[in-house]
Amino acid sequence: MAPDASDALPPVSATALGVAMVRAAESERPDRLFDDPFASAFVAAAKPTRPSVLTPAQRRRASALVNWITVRTRFFDDLMLHACAHGCRQVVILAAGLDARAFRLGLAGDVRLFEIDLDGILVFKQDVITGNGFVPSCERVVVPADLSGPWLPALADAGFDPAVSTMWLAEGLLVYLTRQQNETLIDDVTDLSSPGSRLGLTLSSREEGRDWDGDDLFEHERLQRSASPGDAAGWLGPRGWSVEVHFATDRAAAYGRPAAVSGTRPQGRLVDATRLG
């Protein structure tokens, strides 16, 4: 691996590193909402640089962002475990980044978990995994593909079976795609989802001004390309999904943590959708 492995990563992967930093810090808390012992290895390998002094506004954004990532991580951990315990034998993580759920959730060995992302970050990630001897509990399949382009052939070639109920996860992704790309992505996911499949999404609120659900503190606002749909049920329902929407602030309260949104940051939404028969 190169002395500074992060040099080989595509720009959007700074977001993945930032999320790993948050997950590593959360894992050190005695009252942690989840445990991700792999995140610190990714951070150490990437050697990310951060500003040494934050303005008050940046500190407010940072606090809100940390809470948002922490709460959504716990929410989707629970959702994935529930889905896999109730019939989903495939998992597809869209824009997986440095996600370590294949290693840390204790998923059953007969679950196939597909990680889709750009080749650069997957190569970096695999270097860290191999170098540290990390072993997944389930069958982990890496799928290099660009979700803004034709990714379905790569997933099919990797062995994905549309007849098998699947847990799909798009965490902090949609904002980096155009509105039309999001429509196409959800149509494709719907077409590949047998009854009982689950879909987890992060969405922002529809407030005045900025409307991003991405992890924009990591200096990649310029990569964000669209705002979230205003009505998750209205967006997914006609496609054949039953939709539950949870505000991150409500989940934070349920987990015993401060509100996940503060200042001017939009209120994040966590979506749990089930494919109907």
pLDDT digits (tens, 9 = 90+) for 139-181: 999 999 999 999 999 999 999 999 999 999 999 898 888 889 9
Q: Compute CA distances 162 → 91, 113, 155, 197, whole Å.
A: 11, 14, 10, 10
The distance of Cα 122 from the centroid of its chain, to the nearest Å, equals 15
Q: Which of 2-6, 52-56, 233-237 has the lowest mean pLDDT?
A: 2-6
Q: How confident is the model at residue 11 (pLDDT cuts 50, 70, 90)?
A: low
Question: Is residue 3, in this structure, part of any structural domain at all?
Answer: no
Indicate if the pLDDT at residue 246 is higher than 60: yes
Domain with 253, as residue range(s), is: 14-275
The CA distance from 191 to 222, in Å, is 31
In-domain check, residue 1 = no
With respect to residue 4, please indicate whether it lies within any of the assigned structural domains: no
Average pLDDT, rounded, for the chain: 86
pTM (predicted TM-score): 0.89
**How many domains, the chain?**
1
The domain that contains 255 carries what CATH number?
Answer: 3.40.50.150
3-state DSSP assignment of residue 179:
helix
pLDDT mean over 45-67: 75
The DSSP-derived string for 84-101 is HHTT--EEEEET-TT--H
Q: What is the pLDDT of residue 15?
A: 84
